[in-house]
Amino acid sequence: MSKAKKILTAVTALWLCLLLVVLTYAWVVRNWTPSIEQEDLQINKAGALVISLKGDDNHETISLNKVVGIDSFIFKQVSSQNGQNFMWLDFIPTLDQKPAQYAKVTDAQKENYIETQFALKLDDTLTTDRYIFIHPESFLSDTTDVHVSDAIRIALDYTVTETDGSETNHVYILGNTPEGQDVDYSTSAVLPDADGKEQDDPTAVSQQKVYSLQYFNGGRTAAFDSANPGNPENYNFTPDPNRMLFTLKPGELKWITLRIWLEGADEYCVNEIAGQYFDMNLKFDSISVPQ
């Protein structure tokens, strides 16, 4: 498979390990700057969904490369405990024999991870509400024996309107979890208020909650027949609202902020993954809300 087909579909590990702080918290020295490069980052959809970038356009698939305006994307380590606020580790103090310090991401570091927006909406022919979930063909995988994809995180950030009219913001961090477990708490990440704190300060970090890509599967229990996507048995399951992302109404636009990054706190964020590639498929699907 060519590099151009190492796909990140829909729509992030590196350097020599300096030390471990809190669980498997690992960052790499700033003097080592290897990177992970992706040449084709995509988001796609299945079934009755449509992807929009402007609100009035319809896409089956969108290329994040075109959205971000680059031919290939290079990920470098950052950290986020909540999937919204990002920090980086400043090693300049180590020149004076002092601990490295956490700092808020500035415009310079924003180039190290992806942040973009897209919208999901239902096909214009639909007239009833549908649950939105993550298609079972979604995955994060490695192209070599080196664990690259395990250090990648994907955050979906969106707002839902409750029955009383109030709005609730949801942010879910997705990634590979050990042995495919539903939720992983084994990695810590930098807190939003850690700006200026030293690397060895335990109050600067906290647990990161990472959901498996299969967690929000809509409640599906049987395997998906990918050889025959039109097989009606693929959608012959009882929807589980707790395993859905949200509900879409006909004509509604659901804007999602997508963030993809290389988690500097992950145990696989080490120098050995420098220059490696990973495959990613992030695919959304829908099913009718039972009446």
Model pLDDT for residues 66-80, shown as the tens digit of each residue:
666 655 677 888 999
pLDDT in tens, 122-160: 988 889 999 999 999 898 888 778 888 899 999 999 999
DSSP state of 15: S
Kindly state the average pLDDT of the residues 13-41.
36
Cβ atoms within 10 Å of 39's Cβ, excluding its own: 17
What's the mean per-residue pLDDT of the chain?
82
Q: What share of the chain is helix, strand, coil (3-state, %, to 5)?
A: 10, 40, 50
Give the Cα separation of 97 and 82 in Å (integer).
31
**pLDDT for the residue 146:** 82
Six-digit token pair at 140? 């994060």
- pTM, 2 dp: 0.84
Cβ-contact 38, 148 below 8 angstroms? no
Give the Cα separation of 68 and 222 in Å (integer).
37
DSSP state of 65: H
DSSP state of 198: B
DSSP state of 184: E
pLDDT in tens, 54-68: 877 887 777 666 666
Which range has highest mean pLDDT (8-17, 37-46, 180-189)?
180-189
**pLDDT for the residue 41:** 58
E-strand stretches of 100-228: 101-104, 114-122, 130-134, 139-142, 152-161, 167-174, 183-184, 188-190, 205-207, 210-211
Amino acid, res. 65: N
Query: Where does the pLDDT of residue 170 fall: very low under 50, low under 70, confident under 90, or very high at 90 and above?
Result: very high
Query: Where does the pLDDT of residue 274 fall: very low under 50, low under 70, confident under 90, or very high at 90 and above?
Result: confident
pLDDT in tens, 176-188: 999 889 999 999 9
First to last CA, the chain: 45
**pLDDT for the residue 35:** 45
**pLDDT for the residue 16:** 17
In sequence order, which residues have a C-beta less than 8 Å from that of residue 222 and are 6 or more positions away? 233, 236, 237
Which phi and psi (to 5°) does residue 243 adopt? -110, 15
Of the candidates 114, 119, 111, which has an alpha carbon nearest to the alpha carbon of residue 152?
114
Query: Where does the pLDDT of residue 40 fall: very low under 50, low under 70, confident under 90, or very high at 90 and above?
Result: low
Of the candidates 82, 26, 38, which has an alpha carbon nearest to the alpha carbon of residue 269?
26
| Residues counted in the chain | 291
**pLDDT for the residue 270:** 82
Look at residue 17 and tell me whether its pLDDT is greater than 50.
no
- For the chain, the C-alpha Rg in angstroms (whole number) is 19
